[in-house]
Amino acid sequence: MDDALPPAEPFRIKAVEGIRRLTRDQRLRALEAAHHNLFLLKSEDVYIDLLTDSGTGAMSDRQWAAMMAGDEAYAGSRSFDRLAESASEVMGFPYLIPAHQGRGAEHVLFSALVAPGQQVIGNVHFDTTRAHIEHRQAVALDLAVEEIYDAQDRSPFKGNLDVERAEAHIRGVGRDAVPLILVTVTCNSGGGQPVSMANLTAVRALADRWGIPFFLDACRFAENAYFIQQREPGYAGRTVASIAREMCNLADGCTFSAKKDGLANIGGFVAFRDASLYQKAIPWAILFEGFLTYGGLAGRDLEAIAVGLKEVVEQPYLEWRIGQVARLADGLRAAGVPLVEPAGGHAVFLDARRFLPHVPQTAYPAQSLACELYADGGVRGVEVGGVMAGRDPKTGQERFPRLEMVRLAVPRRVYTDAHMAVVVEAARLTLASSARIGGLRIVHEPPVLRHFSARFAPVPLSDLPRSPETRAARGS
């Protein structure tokens, strides 16, 4: 890239989709109708949708062209071969089973490997991953390094697994209690933070010492590889593609949601290096996802992923992509918005504890903040805090996480920096009125993955427990 020129999209736009901005009153009514749960909003009532970077990206002309060549045969589809070839070129895993999306891949892998009472060790498991592990009556154990829980810590690889603690844990419970180690790259629930190659290498050695399979949750593998290139000594001169391949070479396989770094709107897969693990997974894949050459997807979807996997490791794309998220973080930081530092690869995370210090975690400050940001700017983020963490399946107690965040996830190749400037202004407005923002209480709570469909009612400032921060915020 010519450093004298400012950054800009490494693409031009061939199709557009209109969006509309409601008035603040209209947005307040929409929020009421959605029971203060942004998942229940109509997408057309959202101006800038940062709910998720999953399946919301724009496909390239090459992906659309490939879709026309989709082979829709039930068995032996040519499109499957193209996907398997592409995944093997980019990731290096010889055995691949497509799935309808990431959680389908999790369902297949955990059905094959995880038994009741076992413990799956990871950095910070994503919520669907945790739910699938718990569905197998097993335990999802988060053993990320301590830095990840400090929103202000600017360490370059806060997604790393604490290998020493993991080893001590395995020693304590015994090898047979740990069916696999699953490291999520980048670590979404920990703020989109990357994992270093040094750490992945140490995890490989740990897995070898105990004979435990090591899988990647590879949702954002290319973004992780880009961070390694930018931040880890020795990788500056390497291509992202070669770094991504080196990451995968350390693992026995992966689960993958192609809705992220597959640059597709739907799809996923589980991949294996070892033929016997692959064989174990086959019956479950056929039971839950479909025949092995389509896995719940249309042939055209397999084609889109096959092309997307190659585009996602291109340097100009990643430079712009991670750069756009970083520029959003810069704007928010300059406006005084408290952030989880550093910015993640796919998202900026607002630190709701510091944004709303007067709202106790029992009144769901991040959920409340996400609603206010929608009211102020039509910007939809997502709570990653107490609501998403849900309840302990054994005790039924709410498990309040150490980080209480609102995630602003940036869809790939969809919004321009002008949209990001609107997000900054919306957050500035919300910040200016933060002392007046109250909390929420849950009035309807589903038993699993409650954040998707829970309903809330406002808890006004005057009804919040009066912590020292509350008194300070009210000036009393």
Question: Interface with ligand P71 by CB under 6 A: which residues?
Answer: 52, 54, 101-103, 126-129, 184, 188, 217, 219, 257, 259, 268, 382, 409
**What residue type is assigned to position 238 of the chain?**
R
The nearest distance, CB 449 to ligand P71, in angstroms, is 8
Nearer to ligand P71, 7 or 55 (CB): 55
Read out DSSP for 11-27? Answer: S--S---------HHHH
The closest alpha carbon to 415, from 2, 44, 56, belongs to 56
Separate counts of helices (H) and strands (E) for the chain: 17, 14
The nearest distance, CB 386 to ligand P71, in angstroms, is 15
The nearest distance, CB 185 to ligand P71, in angstroms, is 8
Three-class SS state of 407: strand
The nearest distance, CB 125 to ligand P71, in angstroms, is 8
- In angstroms, the Cα distances linking 155 to 50, 145, 204, 318, 340 are 25, 11, 22, 21, 12
Distance CA 423, CA 429 (A): 10
**Residue 436 and residue 470 in contact, taking contact as beta carbons nearer than 8 Å:** no
Nearer to ligand P71, 34 or 431 (CB): 34
Q: What would the two tokens of residue 405 be?
A: 């965040």
Distance CA 382, CA 391 (A): 18
The nearest distance, CB 53 to ligand P71, in angstroms, is 6
The nearest distance, CB 336 to ligand P71, in angstroms, is 27
Residue 472 DSSP one-character state: H
**Residue 315 and residue 327 in contact, taking contact as beta carbons nearer than 8 Å:** no
Nearer to ligand P71, 184 or 430 (CB): 184
Distance CA 211, CA 193 (A): 27
The nearest distance, CB 21 to ligand P71, in angstroms, is 23
Helices (H), 232-335: 240-249, 275-288, 299-311, 315-334
The nearest distance, CB 235 to ligand P71, in angstroms, is 22
Nearer to ligand P71, 219 or 437 (CB): 219
Nearer to ligand P71, 297 or 459 (CB): 297
Distance CA 289, CA 296 (A): 5
Nearer to ligand P71, 129 or 160 (CB): 129
Distance CA 386, CA 399 (A): 7
CB-count burial class (<10 Å; 0-12, 13-18, 19+) for 306:
buried
Residue 190 DSSP one-character state: G
Nearer to ligand P71, 126 or 415 (CB): 126
**Residue 196 and residue 232 in contact, taking contact as beta carbons nearer than 8 Å:** yes
> Which helix (H) or strand (E) is 421 found in, with range?
helix 417-432
**Cis omega (within 30 of 0) for bond into 446:** no
The nearest distance, CB 421 to ligand P71, in angstroms, is 23
Distance CA 430, CA 406 (A): 13
Distance CA 219, CA 54 (A): 9
The nearest distance, CB 129 to ligand P71, in angstroms, is 5
Nearer to ligand P71, 127 or 147 (CB): 127
Distance CA 348, CA 474 (A): 29
The nearest distance, CB 362 to ligand P71, in angstroms, is 22
Nearer to ligand P71, 218 or 473 (CB): 218
Nearer to ligand P71, 126 or 317 (CB): 126
The nearest distance, CB 255 to ligand P71, in angstroms, is 7
Nearer to ligand P71, 126 or 320 (CB): 126
Nearer to ligand P71, 217 or 303 (CB): 217
User: Looking at beta carbons, which residue is closest to ligand P71?
Assistant: 102
Three-class SS state of 362: helix
